[in-house]
Structure 1
Amino acid sequence: MASTLDFIEVKGVKIPFIFEEDKRLPIVSMQVVFTHSGSIDEGKHYGLARMSGKMLNEGSLKKGSVGFADALDARAIQLSANAGNETFVIELGSLKEEFDTGLSLLNEQLREPNFTAKSLEKVKTMALSDIARKEADFDTVASDELKAVLFEGTPMAVPNIGTKESIKGIKLSDVEKFKKDHIVLSNALIVMGGDISIADAKAKVQSLLTLLEVGKGGNERHYDPRKAPKESILNRPQTEQAYLYFASPFAMREGDSEFYKARVAMFILGSSGFGSRLMEEIRVKRGLAYSAYSRLSVAKTHTYFSGYLQTKLESQGEAKKTVVEVIDTFVRYGVTQSELDQARKFLLGSEPLRVETLSQRLGRTFGEYYSGKPLGSSVQELDMIRALTLDDVNDFIKRHGEIRDLSYAIVTK
């Protein structure tokens, strides 16, 4: 079994169609992905993309919110819309025999969404409640502040949930315009699979997509993180520990041929949990935190290295110093043969767990296509990890000394 890439033509637009037939369970799932339609595409109406997804989830004018939800529940159909940084996604899943009913309800929802003043106030209230709740979550506070520091002056600096001020200012016309401008064929991509033939799947999707206007495709953008380190300290009298979040630039773009080296290096440094350099130095040897973690984020819109830990208030300075030392040592001296062997063993050995479900396989194929890589490149990447030498990975690490240029967001007392 393997997911494939094809195209569907609707109103003269060639729409990517990622598909895999899987008859092991009598279910069908579909994602309609709209690229260039996430939170970075909402202009100054921060939170609009996410709110537009919530508004679409309010059902149709004909049935209303409760009636639409009841119609879905009666047939065990899952239908939802949500927005990320780069994409807006509508997901539909059901038993095979109920999929046509699900498509009919989605058709109704797209033709006449429940975009009313009442729905808008409901969604606004929920969004403001979410924002208030997150203000008491110091991990979220530190994480959001780190993004604000790292991507200052760009759409990446604002969380996709928006701010209290921006949410209050969103009008019904803003939601309608977002849908009109972004939920269009020129941005569409289909990910579909399950107990259905490819011919039947294409026919159903084409019928649904005729509802949409051609529209205008969005433009790709990339935002570079700050190069000069900066620190932001947020004082919160009610906190009982310090939340230390850090990040730095990383000279790589999505689709980079050396990504597999970064994957191995970052696994060893901080993304492997127990046994990682950061965990070993910060928790095991010095007892400064229960956990310490770092990762590399590589996407179309951004690339950066980041990490975090929580520590005692009185240990804040020592923890920060330790992070600096661990990363500097990592860049200077690289990794050991034993660390490389263990990382390789885990990454290769755990691969079957990453492709055991239909959604995982479809997601991987989507990721390969979306990042501009050829289909099957994930398998080729494993072969390259298998052949990676110690000299190669250490040379790569030394060429990325920019990860030492750390910016911080610290919540403390």
Structure 2
Amino acid sequence: MGRALGLLCLALCLPFASAQAADIIPTRSVTANGMTVLFLEQHFLPTVEIHALVKVGSAQDPPDKAGLANLTASLLDEGTLTRTSRQIAEQIDFVGGSLEAHAAEDFTTASTRVLKKDADLGFALLADMLQHPAFHKQEFERVRTQILGEIVSDDDDPGNVAMKAFHQLIFHGHPYSWPAHGTEETLTKITVADIQQFHAREYLPNQTILVIVGDLTQDQAATLVQTHFGSWKKGTPSPYQMKKPASIERKMVQLIEKDLTQSTIVLGHTGISRTNPDYYAVTVMNYILGAGGFSSRLMDSIRDKQGLAYGIMSQFDSRLMPGAFFISLQTRTDVTNQAIAGVLTEIKGMRDAPVTDQELNEAKSFIVGSFPLRVDSSAKLANVLAQVELYNLGLDYFTQYPRAIEKVTKDDVLRVAKQYLDPQHYALVVVGSIAKAKVKQ
């Protein structure tokens, strides 16, 4: 049975995987009410993915009410002016579709996937929850309590504790410093009125990117958009002017005591934005440093040669504004300092000398070769298309991305390593038995 399901999943994904990413050429239009629509006609499967990205996220939350954008998004499918939450769930379940919404730091997404024959219902449900959510008091209390429970649960996970503390250190005073779901303190301050006002002010067609991928014609898609979103009234969004996060000027250390047999370590600093021209060179550099799994220097040094960790990785979290660069791992308490020193050694190594030809070629080959896997389903493709529009990357992105990676040289890698890696000014968070670890500061 498991093998049969696996073969079915493979068959469903093969049409997407076999298609060349460079062949993905969506059409772009703007409706009369200001909504940007990207449409990609695909007839591999009789399905339609409808993905809405609203340009508001947790970065726009008031500091004392962090979690507002996420709570608003979480309530979108919990009842509208004409449908109860149960009716919405039953309608989408009856046709075997999916419907979901959530907020990230820079944007909120709401999406649905249905069979072609149910496209009208999919559009109707998504449009209804975006335009006419009811925000019933009972649902508000239930969902908020559920999120509060998730926050409490997260506090039991040393990895979540470490990342939360890390973001507060490197983004101090910036909206990126608080979790998208908020905190126990801020969530309890949010009222139904706050949700209603936030939605009325921010959920506007001229702040929305609508992506449609699937088994429709251009005319069919345009008709469905006009039918279900044409009456949505445009407005004036709030004039947010988010500043760039400040760079770290000194080494910062936070040690969090927990009775554990391992230390959870996060080390890093601010990184780059998604629109930074060096994004592609940084992607190659970071693959070699720690994003390349067993091919990375961090894994080779910290795991294979020194035996200090089972796994270790590095990441640049690129957003509208510069996000975080971090390296994370877990290690035995007694070798915590050795692991931290090993990480800093590898960061310095990236800055001190060019990478080898083999490292460069393997990194570029993997990144380009795995690129189609990022769009091997209609859901993934719709998500990427929405962000291509958000970051203004151009409709030729699927052709240009591999080319931009291929152009990266050893000199580029060394240059961005020197510019965007700093082994002197960074934040270090360690969660574990601090007294036993004896972390050097």
TM interval, shorter chain, is: over 0.9
Are 1:246 and 2:267 matched, yes or no?
Answer: yes
Are 1:153 and 2:150 matched, yes or no?
Answer: no
What residue in structure 2 maps to residue 127 of structure 1?
A: 147
Per the TM alignment, residue 281 of structure 1 is displaced from its structure 2 partner at its CA by: 1.1
TM-score by structure 2 length?
0.87
CA distance in 1, matches of 2:27, 2:106: 21
Kindly indicate whether the alpha-carbon contact (under 8 Å) linking 1:334 and 1:398 is maintained by their aligned counterparts in 2.
no
What residue in structure 2 maps to residue 321 of structure 1?
A: 341
Q: Deviations over 1:353-392 (max 9, x none)?
A: 3333333444333333322222223433422433433334
| Paired residue type of 1:94 | V
Q: Decide whether aligned partners of structure 1 residues 384 and 53 sit closer, same or farther in structure 2, where only a CA change above 3 A counts.
A: closer
What residue in structure 2 maps to residue 407 of structure 1?
A: 427
What residue in structure 1 maps to residue 101 of structure 2?
A: 81
> Matched residue of 1:31: which SS?
strand
CA distance in 2, matches of 1:399, 1:89: 33
Kindly indicate whether the alpha-carbon contact (under 8 Å) linking 2:73 and 2:101 is maintained by their aligned counterparts in 1.
yes
> Matched residue of 1:335: which SS?
coil
What residue in structure 2 maps to residue 269 of structure 1?
A: 289
| Paired residue type of 1:42 | D
Per the TM alignment, residue 350 of structure 1 is displaced from its structure 2 partner at its CA by: 2.3
> Matched residue of 1:49: which SS?
helix
Q: 1:12-411 maps to which residues of 2 (within 5 A)? A: 13=34, 15-35=35-55, 37-44=56-63, 45-110=65-130, 112-218=132-238, 219=240, 221-228=242-249, 229-237=251-259, 239-250=260-271, 252-402=272-422, 404-411=424-431
Kindly indicate whether the alpha-carbon contact (under 8 Å) linking 1:8 and 1:206 is maintained by their aligned counterparts in 2.
no
CA distance in 2, matches of 1:195, 1:33: 21
Kindly indicate whether the alpha-carbon contact (under 8 Å) linking 1:283 and 1:292 is maintained by their aligned counterparts in 2.
yes
- Count of residue pairs the alignment pairs up: 408
CA distance in 1, matches of 2:131, 2:401: 43
Kindly indicate whether the alpha-carbon contact (under 8 Å) linking 2:67 and 2:181 is maintained by their aligned counterparts in 1.
yes
CA distance in 1, matches of 2:398, 2:82: 45
Q: Deviations over 1:328-348 (max 9, x none)?
A: 122111311221122122123
Per the TM alignment, residue 181 of structure 1 is displaced from its structure 2 partner at its CA by: 0.9
What residue in structure 1 maps to residue 26 of structure 2?
A: 4
Per the TM alignment, residue 204 of structure 1 is displaced from its structure 2 partner at its CA by: 1.2
CA RMSD of aligned residues (A): 2.0
Per the TM alignment, residue 215 of structure 1 is displaced from its structure 2 partner at its CA by: 1.8
Tell which deviates more after alignment, 372-381 or 298-307.
Answer: 372-381
Q: Deviations over 1:100-133 (max 9, x none)?
A: 1233334444554231211111011101110111
Kindly indicate whether the alpha-carbon contact (under 8 Å) linking 1:34 and 1:87 is maintained by their aligned counterparts in 2.
yes
Per the TM alignment, residue 208 of structure 1 is displaced from its structure 2 partner at its CA by: 2.1
CA distance in 2, matches of 1:105, 1:348: 37
Q: Decide whether aligned partners of structure 1 residues 111 and 321 sit closer, same or farther in structure 2, where only a CA change above 3 A counts.
A: closer
Tell which deviates more after alignment, 135-144 or 76-85.
Answer: 76-85
Kindly indicate whether the alpha-carbon contact (under 8 Å) linking 2:264 and 2:431 is maintained by their aligned counterparts in 1.
yes
Per the TM alignment, residue 397 of structure 1 is displaced from its structure 2 partner at its CA by: 2.5
> Matched residue of 1:308: which SS?
strand
Q: Deviations over 1:160-215 (max 9, x none)?
A: 11111111111110111111011112211111110111122122112222343312
Q: Decide whether aligned partners of structure 1 residues 400 and 81 sit closer, same or farther in structure 2, where only a CA change above 3 A counts.
A: closer
Identity of aligned residues (%): 25
> Matched residue of 2:428: which SS?
strand
CA distance in 2, matches of 1:166, 1:399: 36
- Structure 1, unaligned stretches of length 5 or more? none
| Paired residue type of 1:236 | K
TM-score by structure 1 length?
0.92
> Matched residue of 2:394: which SS?
coil
CA distance in 1, matches of 2:217, 2:241: 33
> Matched residue of 1:402: which SS?
coil
Kindly indicate whether the alpha-carbon contact (under 8 Å) linking 1:328 and 1:404 is maintained by their aligned counterparts in 2.
no
CA distance in 2, matches of 1:367, 1:195: 22
- Structure 2, unaligned stretches of length 5 or more? 1-22, 434-441
> Matched residue of 1:364: which SS?
helix
Kindly indicate whether the alpha-carbon contact (under 8 Å) linking 1:248 and 1:404 is maintained by their aligned counterparts in 2.
no
What residue in structure 1 maps to residue 9 of structure 2?
A: none
Q: Decide whether aligned partners of structure 1 residues 282 and 129 sit closer, same or farther in structure 2, where only a CA change above 3 A counts.
A: same
Q: Decide whether aligned partners of structure 1 residues 110 and 350 sit closer, same or farther in structure 2, where only a CA change above 3 A counts.
A: closer
Per the TM alignment, residue 75 of structure 1 is displaced from its structure 2 partner at its CA by: 1.9
CA distance in 1, matches of 2:354, 2:69: 42
| Paired residue type of 1:6 | R
CA distance in 2, matches of 1:204, 1:332: 56
